[in-house]
Amino acid sequence: MDWAKARLWLILLFAALDVYLLVQVRAEQAAWRSWAWVPPGVANSASSGQAAVRQLAEAGVLLETDLPASAPSLPLWTVRAQPADGTTLARRLFGADGWTAEPWPGSPGSYTYVDRKAPQVRLSVLREGPVDYQEPAGSGGAPAPEAARQLADAFLRRLGWPPGGELAYDGLDPAPREGSGLVVHYVEMFQGRPLFGGYAAVEVRAGEVTHLEGVWLEVSGRGGSSRPVMPAEEALLRLAADRGANPAQPLRVREVRLGYYSPFYRVYEANRWDVAPVWRVRLADGSVFYVNAYTGLLEK
């Protein structure tokens, strides 16, 4: 056998096979990229640094915040709403015998707990999980942001809700109803990431907590294996394309956070559901968007 000649033929054969396989890999990656984001092999079109900022500006995205440097692989998580123990919450707020319970008509298991001393102070605990507290506002000026946050923190500690896990501070907004006040937002945290469907919003007016609404989600397991998620730059490009942004009418991005998304209505309609990783994008005008970090689709 002429080894030199055979070796030459083998080199040609494997070179041709490599070219074929390379074309196949490229085609598969392109097909998958149109469906879900794939980590780029060598170069990233939306790479970090100045080039990324320039590319975003050309797409109509003005950054007013720093972007997260990395995007890890993440799984889907399966969650369910965790109903609260209404009796315990009422005892903590109103005292051992300081309340009466009124059942919700047409919703067995849901109750409104009324303060015996001040019947307009009410705590509603729905069997699906949501908690709602209402107290009439007193007179006085708007609280300072730091004071509002301290009042909200203290109220949640007194209420002892949620029973476990971690709520993290998630910003302040002016109160939506008339009069001056602030809403302190909290978001549920799971394994160090926000789970945006679990939250508490505490309204503070004139030195009093006047309203609380909240939902707590319990993570019951993984919904699948970990998958790469797209970087924040890529998510912003998808959002800009969806919103029709351009340099003349840019999106002014105030905050970008990686977490998990759950529509608010799920607690009322579902027993258990999966949540997907999302980039939450908050704009300067206050609007908030959730971009699916697997697919780049806007969650609605």
Partner 1 sequence: MSRRLGGLATDLLLVALVALAFWLNAQLWRLPAAGEGPRPLYTAPGAVSNLRPGEVLRPVRLLVRGPDGLWRRLPDPQSQAAVTLWRATVQLAAGARVTELEHAPAGRPAAMLGQLQGPAVEILLPAPLPWASWLAVWRSEEAGAAPLASLPGGGPAVDRLLLFASGPGTEGEAPQLQLAAGDASGWRRVGLPGGEAAVAWLAALKAAQGEAMALEPVAAPAGLAVEADFLGTAAPAAASVAAPRLAEVRPDQEGLGHAVFGDMALVRRVELVDGEVLFTDGRATLRFPPEGGFVLERQASPGGPDRGLGRALLAAVDEVNHLGGWPAGSRLLAVEPLPRGGGWQLDFAAGFRGLPLVAPAEKAPSGPPPAEFQPVPPAAAIDVQVSPAGVVQRIAWHLEQVEGRSAAVRLAPLPAALAAAKAAGGLPAGAALADATLAWEAAGAAGASARPLWLLTLSDGRLLRLPAAGAEGG
Give whole-number Cα distances, 9 to 12, 21, 23, 292, in Å: 5, 18, 21, 49
Tell me the β-bridge partners of 221.
78
79-84-87 Cα angle (round to 5): 170
Cβ at position 272, least distance to partner 1 in Å: 5
- Gap between the terminal Cα atoms of the chain: 68
- Of the candidate residues 1, 2, 34, 105, the single one contacting partner 1 (CB under 8 A): 34
In contact, 134 and 90? CB cutoff 8 Å: no
Instruction: Give the contacts of 255 (CB within 8 A, at least 6 positions apart).
Output: 65, 280, 281, 282
- Considering only the stretches 90-98, 182-190, 204-212, 217-225, report the one whose residues sit in contact with partner 1 under the rule CB under 8 A: 217-225
- Near partner 1 by CB under 8 A: residue from 28, 85, 166, 173: 28
Please write down the HEC assignment for all residues of 13-79.
Answer: HHHHHHHHHHHHHHHHHHHHHCCCCCCCCCCCCCCCCHHHHHHHHHCCEEECCCCCCCCCEECCEEE
78 binds partner 1 per the rule CB under 8 A: yes
| Residue from 22, 101, 118, 168 in contact with partner 1 (CB under 8 A) | 22
Q: Does 264 bind partner 1 (CB under 8 A)?
A: no
Helix (H) or strand (E) run with residue 240 in it: helix 232-243
**Two structure tokens written together for 166:** 């971690």
Separation of alpha carbons 254 and 17, rounded Å? 50
Q: Does 271 bind partner 1 (CB under 8 A)?
A: yes
Residues contacting partner 1: total by CB under 8 A: 42
Q: Site map for partner 1, 58-77, x if CB under 8 A? A: ------------------x-
Which CB atom, from 26 or from 116, has the smaller least distance to partner 1?
26
Residue appearing with tokens 């697919």: 295
21 binds partner 1 (CB under 8 A): yes
Task: For residue 280, state whether it binds partner 1 (rule: CB under 8 A).
Answer: no
Q: Are 212 and 135 in contact (CB under 8 A)?
A: no
> With binding defined as CB under 8 A, does residue 85 bind partner 1?
no
Compute the least distance from the CB of residue 251 to partner 1, in Å: 20
Q: How far is the CB of 295 from partner 1 (least distance, A)?
A: 6
Which residue type does 22 have?
L
In the bound state with partner 1, the residue whose beta carbon lies nearer, of 169 and 268, is 268
Instruction: Say whether residue 81 binds partner 1 (CB under 8 A).
Output: no
CB of 224 to partner 1, least distance (A): 5
Q: Is 126 in the site for partner 1 (CB under 8 A)?
A: no
Q: Is 118 in the site for partner 1 (CB under 8 A)?
A: no
Q: Which is nearer to partner 1, 5 or 285 (CB)?
A: 5
* Single residue of 99, 161, 199, 273 touching partner 1 by CB under 8 A: 273
The Cα 182–Cα 144 span in angstroms is 9
Q: Assign residue 206 a region: left if phi > 0, alpha if psi is -120 to 50, beta otherwise?
A: left
Binding site for partner 1 (CB under 8 A): 4, 7-8, 10-11, 14-15, 17-18, 21-22, 24-25, 28-29, 31-32, 34-36, 38, 76, 78, 223-225, 227, 266, 269-276, 292, 294-295, 297-299
